[in-house]
Homo-oligomer: A and B are copies of this chain.
């Protein structure tokens, strides 16, 4: 079904059909009805190739993420996925512009968001780790489509949110902790961004697993990037001889792991953390980390880009929420690379 076929069937010109389809007015009500009937009956879908050829427009996605080169490699994994999608979609006139912000400074989000808007993006892909600033930024551009990754932002209307249930992730981590170190004792929970939704929920999920198991105690600890959080860990280990495991709610687990190994307490301590960043991969291979929960960060970035593209370029309506499965990574299923790249050819 093409516009000219519709025009022929309706005994009007293609210009009229076009005016009906785009609601540009100047068409008699009867003619509109006649055309729309045919459109509906035949299920007309505009030809994507013709449409985009004529419009001849780049679709630019503005990406707004926390500092990529911070010590939290997680954001780089997300960025990898975004880049991969952008590369695949570049022949389809999709491009990205990137801006970073300092997640410890809400003003930074607004400033860099404004800078990003100067590139005139058609949509925004962002991680709403700073809820208020994120809302404020989006409120300034009410017509803009946007998608969220990493965490949701309630009461907003994104094209799509690609997220993982953090409570469930923490609960899963606790289950693995229990499996890997069944003996009763104390578990240490370490956070770095205590106010962050994901961190908080993961810790809550972890604790929730052990509710009703009185033999297992939990001890919470906050560790800043800047301070020597190591001191507190050492202190906790001294004061609690029965520490069986440490759960770090984000990708910083390798730092804790290295320190625990240094203290010589690795053999009696199970370490569980988040995300397959290189340092965590390495720490796991060295036996310093026992289990990682992955939230498939590259998948998140990759998928969010595709969802925005499908909405805009193909006119499809993406799933409002894409819930990323909670991946359990143990040394036995730790592969060299994530599914986004080629693996050594073991099949010959």
The answer, yes or no, to whether A43 is at the interface (CB within 8 Å) is: yes
Q: Nearest chain B CB to A321's CB is how many angstroms away?
A: 6
Are A322 and B348 in contact (CB-based, < 8 A)?
Answer: no
Complex partner residue of A333 from B52, B328, B333, CB under 8 angstroms: B328
The CA of A110 and the CA of B152, in the complex, are separated in Å by 50
B53 close to A315 (CB less than 8 A): no
In the complex formed, the residue of B with least CB distance to A173 is: B332
Query: Is A261 among interface residues, defined by CB-CB distance under 8 A?
Result: no
* A322 x B346 contact (CB < 8 A): no
Q: Is the CB of A332 within 8 A of B168?
A: yes
CA distance A320 to B154 in the complex (A): 41
- What are 22 A-B residue pairs whose CB atoms fall within 8 Å in the complex? A43-B348, A88-B310, A91-B316, A163-B347, A168-B332, A172-B333, A175-B330, A179-B180, A316-B344, A316-B346, A317-B344, A319-B342, A319-B344, A321-B343, A321-B345, A322-B339, A323-B339, A325-B327, A325-B338, A325-B339, A327-B328, A328-B330
| Chain B residues whose C-beta falls within 8 Å of the C-beta of A11 in the assembled complex | none
Complex copy number for this chain: 2
Q: What per-residue 1/0 map shows which CB atoms of A91-123 lie under 8 Å from chain B?
A: 111000000000000000000000000000000
Q: Which residues of B contact A185 (CB under 8 A)?
A: none
A36 CB–B CB distance under 8 Å: no
Q: Are B163 and A315 in contact (CB under 8 A)?
A: no
Q: CA of A179 to CA of B43 in the docked complex: distance in angstroms?
A: 55
Residue of B with least CB distance to A327:
B327
Q: Which residues of A contact B (CB under 8 A)?
A: 43, 45, 47-50, 52-53, 88, 91-93, 152, 154, 161, 163, 165, 167-168, 171-172, 175, 179-180, 299, 310, 314-328, 330, 332-333, 335, 337-339, 341-348
- Give A348 to B326 CA distance when docked, in angstroms: 20
- A131 and B88 CA atoms in complex are apart in Å by 32
What residue in chain B is nearest A89 (Cβ atoms)?
B314
Q: Which residue of B lies closest to A167 (CB)?
A: B346
Flag if B321 contacts A342 (CB, 8 Å).
yes
Q: What CA separation (Å) do A45 and B348 show in the bound complex?
A: 10
Tell me the nearest residue of chain B to A48, going by C-beta. Answer: B91
* A335 CB contact (under 8 Å) in B45, B180, B323, B328: B323
Q: Are A53 and B47 in contact (CB under 8 A)?
A: yes
Contacts of A330 in B (CB 8 A): 172, 175, 328
C-alpha spacing A53/B46, complex, angstroms = 12
Task: Select which of B50, B316, B324, B337 is within 8 A of A347 by beta carbon.
Answer: B316
- Knowing A91-B315, A333-B326, A339-B322, the reply to whether A344 touches B172 (Cβ < 8 A) is no
Tell me which residues across on chain B come within 8 A of A337, comparing CB atoms: 323
* A321, A323, A324: residue with the most chain B Cβ atoms closer than 10 Å: A323
Question: Roughly how many angstroms separate A122 CA and B175 CA in the complex, as a whole number?
Answer: 48
Bound Cα distance from A320 to B49, whole angstroms: 28
Question: Closest CB of chain B to A84's CB: distance in Å?
Answer: 11
Q: In the complex, which of the residues B163, B167, B317, B328 contacts A328, with contact meaning CB atoms closer than 8 Å?
A: B328
With both beta carbons as reference points, the residue of chain B lying nearest to A318 in the complex is identified as: B344
